[in-house]
Amino acid sequence: MKAQKEKKVFEITANSAVMRRFERFLSMLHYNSGWGHSALFAMPLDGDGNERFTVSPKPDYSEDVELTAGIGGDVEIAYDNSYTVKRLSSMKSSWVVKYGGLHRNGVLVKGKKSGRKQND
């Protein structure tokens, strides 16, 4: 079954360096999905510095991302139905946000016990 396409419009606000990086990131997604290349695409962001990035309206699932605040991961990955946070140096725990809850080593530590449907 072919997935239905959606169209959303967001307003992005960032300094010129971050905006250029984000546009280059979008270019990678656009180009690579256009010819069928599969990979993990990434964009660095120094949120503690002056690389602030705002999106309006607030994106769906942003409350799930808020659950990862304070973990201090180096790599944060968004999947179809979850987020994961990794460090490039070894982490003592595995952190995953799925179905509205933050899980450490498979145990719910913050958020909803039962959230959205499994296929969300």
DSSP annotation of 28 reads H
What is the rounded distance in angstroms from the CA atom of residue 57 to the CA atom of residue 110? 25
What is the rounded distance in angstroms from the CA atom of residue 59 to the CA atom of residue 102? 18
**CB-based contacts of 88, cutoff 8 Å, min separation 6:** 74, 75
What would the pLDDT profile of 31-58 be if each residue is shown by its tens digit? Answer: 998 888 888 888 888 887 788 889 999 9
What would the pLDDT profile of 67-118 be if each residue is shown by its tens digit? Answer: 887 777 788 888 888 888 887 777 678 888 887 888 888 899 888 765 444 4
> In which element (H, E) is residue 58 found?
none
